[in-house]
């Protein structure tokens, strides 16, 4: 049992890591393509399995919530009912009366759910951000320090410069505010983003090496 829980995942992580690493360095094209094809198939299978695991985990979470009558468990009924309905709409082998013959085609019941329930709900959730951002900007965006003031000024320039009104605000030299916003995005922003990117990628390399050699084991659910 200990072998299955501890040693086997480390062996699998080591072999998979080495295999994927080798894949990039195999000079013979047929062998490299075969290896790529093999690992790609596995990646798709594992990704699909992870999706299934995610669904099962979400269902289990809401079932437990309902069973234990936790706070807000009424919403879990709605989540599970919506999940079941969408699942049936997409997978049911017969067309729903009054809808298109194929269950995921335009005019199907599945697409009706997508167009009339999912789309408005998702758009509403995202739209609410504008209200929260406006309120938060009013209450929290303060020029308390030099850094906060610099951020505030840059933010205001980019916000105005990235909409048409920015082009109506003239600056000396025949420029306008949108030119300043473009410069901020192309020069300081690019430089900072690139630095962050290099940092993240170097960290990923370090973590990958730690996982391959079994030093990093937190993915198994335990600590180092």
Partner 1 sequence: MHKLAKIILNLDRRIIYSIVMLCVAVPLIRPFGLPFRVTPEVQDGFELIESLHKGDVIVISADYGPSAEAETHPMYVALLHQCFRKGVRPVILTLIPDGPGLASRGLADVLNFSDPQTQQQPYKDFVAGQDYVFLGYKTGSQAIMIGIGQGFTGTFPTDYNGTETASMQIFRDAPKLSDTKCVFDIASVGLPEYWIPYGTERAGIPFIVSCTAVSAPQYYPYYTAGQATGLIGGMKGAAEYEKLVDMAAITGNDGPATKGLDAQSAVHVFIILAIVIANFFYVIDRRRPLSGGVA
Residues 8, 12, 78, 163: which binds partner 1 (CB under 8 A)?
Answer: 163
**Binding status of residue 37 toward partner 1 by CB under 8 A:** yes
Residues 19, 48, 88, 206: which binds partner 1 (CB under 8 A)?
Answer: 48
**Binding status of residue 204 toward partner 1 by CB under 8 A:** no
Which lies closer to partner 1 via its Cβ, residue 3 or residue 131? Answer: 131
Binding mask 166-195 for partner 1 (x = CB under 8 A): -xx---------x---x--xx--xx--xx-
DSSP annotation of 141 reads -
**Binding status of residue 134 toward partner 1 by CB under 8 A:** yes
**Binding status of residue 6 toward partner 1 by CB under 8 A:** no
Residues 96, 99, 114, 183: which binds partner 1 (CB under 8 A)?
Answer: 114
Which lies closer to partner 1 via its Cβ, residue 7 or residue 193? Answer: 193
Interacting residues of 58 by C-beta distance below 8 A, sequence separation 6+: 79, 83
| H/E element, 115 | none
CA–CA separation, 133 vs 127, rounded Å? 10
Q: Identify the burial level of 181 via C-beta atoms within 10 angstroms of its C-beta, where 0-12 means exposed, 13-18 middle and 19 or more buried.
A: buried
CA–CA separation, 180 vs 154, rounded Å? 9
Sign of the CA dihedral with 48 first, then 54, 57, and 63 last: negative
Any alpha helices (H) in the chain, and if so which ranges? 2, 8-23, 29-67, 73-91, 109-113, 119-140, 146-161, 177-184, 190-212
- What is the SS3 assignment for 171? strand
Which lies closer to partner 1 via its Cβ, residue 70 or residue 115? Answer: 115
**Binding status of residue 40 toward partner 1 by CB under 8 A:** yes
CB 96 within 8 A of CB 89: yes
Which lies closer to partner 1 via its Cβ, residue 160 or residue 212? Answer: 160
Nearest-approach distance from CB 46 to partner 1, in angstroms: 8
Which lies closer to partner 1 via its Cβ, residue 182 or residue 208? Answer: 182
Per rule CB under 8 A, count of chain residues that contact partner 1: 58
CA–CA separation, 80 vs 86, rounded Å? 10
Long-range contacts of 100-107 (CB under 8 A, 24+ apart): none
Nearest-approach distance from CB 73 to partner 1, in angstroms: 25
Q: Which residues bind partner 1 (CB under 8 A)?
A: 33, 36-37, 39-40, 43-44, 46-48, 51, 102, 104-106, 111, 114-115, 118-120, 122-123, 125-126, 130-143, 152, 156, 159-160, 162-165, 167-168, 178, 182, 185-186, 189-190, 193-194, 197
């Amino acid at each position: 049992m200990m072998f299955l829980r501890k040693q086997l995942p480390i062996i699998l992580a080591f072999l998979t890591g080495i295999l994927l690493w080798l894949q990039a360095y195999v000079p013979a094209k047929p062998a490299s393509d075969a290896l790529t094809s093999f690992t790609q198939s596995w990646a798709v299978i594992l990704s699909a399995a992870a999706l299934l695991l995610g669904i099962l985990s979400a269902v289990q979470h809401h079932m437990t919530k309902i069973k234990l009558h936790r706070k807000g468990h009424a919403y879990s009924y709605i989540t599970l009912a919506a999940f079941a309905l969408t699942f049936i709409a997409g997978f049911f082998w017969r067309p729903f009366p009054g809808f298109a013959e194929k269950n995921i085609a335009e005019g199907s019941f599945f697409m009706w759910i997508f167009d009339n329930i999912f789309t408005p709900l998702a758009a509403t959730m995202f739209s609410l951000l504008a209200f929260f951002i406006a309120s938060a900007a009013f209450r929290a965006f303060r020029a308390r320090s030099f850094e906060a003031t610099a951020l505030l000024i840059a933010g205001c320039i980019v916000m105005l410069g990235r909409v048409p009104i920015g082009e109506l605000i003239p600056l000396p030299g025949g420029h306008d505010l949108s030119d300043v916003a473009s410069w901020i995005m192309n020069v300081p922003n690019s430089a900072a983003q690139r630095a962050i990117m290099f940092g993240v990628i170097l960290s990923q390399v370090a973590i990958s090496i730690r996982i391959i050699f079994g030093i990093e084991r937190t993915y198994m659910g335990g600590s180092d």
